[in-house]
Amino acid sequence: MKYGICYCYWNKNWEGNDYPKYIERARRCGFDGLEIVFGRMLYMEKPEIDEILAACREYDIELYATGGFGKDMDVAALDEGERERAVEKSLRYLEAFNRLGIRNFSGDNYGAWGDFEHADKKEQLFEQAAKSLRVIGRAAGDLGVSWNMEVVNRFETCMLNTADEAMKLVRMVDDPNVNVILDIFHSMIEENDIAAAIRTVGKERLMHYHLGSNNRRLPQPGFMPWEDAFGALAGIGYDRCLSFEPLVWSGGTVATVGGCVWRDMLPAGTDDAEMDRMLKESLAFVKGIVEKKQNELAQAH
């Protein structure tokens, strides 16, 4: 199993220009990957790309891309011209991912995030998305990228709210490079059974998994069904990345563009050292349950 951490854990904005610093910090905290939002990748100059790649090599960190598409990248647009332009831009992003050595892109990348204008035309949205994702999937395959569609809650999309809906679109696209990411936060809102949702997607199609508590803080003891989720992941043989996606900062784009963080989510006086201490503690908590469930499965066999 690999463990990832999102850049936004340490920063109030989704994106920055200091990724090498956080590549080192991720490794220092015990992580195998750093997840960053895709937006700037299209416009990064070669010196910045070279610095990022050098840091990844030095600290043995895998880089993951994440994020949600706006209207300019609505690959499910009902207007054919808009849809085709969105596909063309998506293909340009695949080239950008390749320049950064990224092989895994997860997010709301199958339509326009937060757009409910055509929620009453869901089947048409699925058909348009599938048409686009077949083209994107072929290009992703050429570059060795997995394009992972995130199942998110009803307040963020009208398309993929459950694992069943994600697998419906996967079957429509029918490309091995168009896959699924589940997020335990969203699953807690939409799924009847988190373990069943994981089994519905299965090992072949589940390429990434996001972790966060019910209030989007770090994974921690509480009423979240961690044992159910990690037991199901062990059961399907999932061995890819468990990526921590805590949204804890107000006052920046994390709060105002999607994260909806309207109050202080960190203890008063939390400094950099305490941020790292809390992160290491959370990682140990998660690893403890993951290893427990893997051991239980091994003993059962």
What SS3 class is residue 202? helix
CA distances from 125 to 61, 75, 84, 128 (A): 36, 9, 14, 5
| Cβ atoms of 188 and 194 closer than 8 Å | yes
Spatial separation of the C-alpha atoms in residues 273 and 266, rounded to whole Å = 13
Residue type, 221: P
CA distances from 202 to 53, 163, 193, 233 (A): 32, 10, 14, 9
| Cβ atoms of 31 and 1 closer than 8 Å | no
HSE, side-chain direction, 13 A CA sphere, residue 270? 16
Neighbouring-strand partners of residue 146: 104
User: Is the C-alpha dihedral spanning 289, 3, 193, 238 positive or negative?
Assistant: negative
Helix (H) or strand (E) holding 209: strand 206-211
| Cβ atoms of 246 and 217 closer than 8 Å | yes
User: Is the C-alpha dihedral spanning 191, 193, 195, 201 positive or negative?
Assistant: negative
Q: Which of 35, 62, 82, 245 is catalytic?
A: 245
Q: Is 177 exposed, middle or buried (0-12, 13-18, 19+ CB in 10 A)?
A: buried
Lookup: tokens for 8: 């936004």
Q: Is 245 a catalytic residue?
A: yes
Q: Which of 35, 150, 156, 191 is catalytic?
A: 150
Residue type, 101: G
| Cβ atoms of 278 and 218 closer than 8 Å | yes
What SS3 class is residue 253? helix
Residues recognised as catalytic? 150, 245
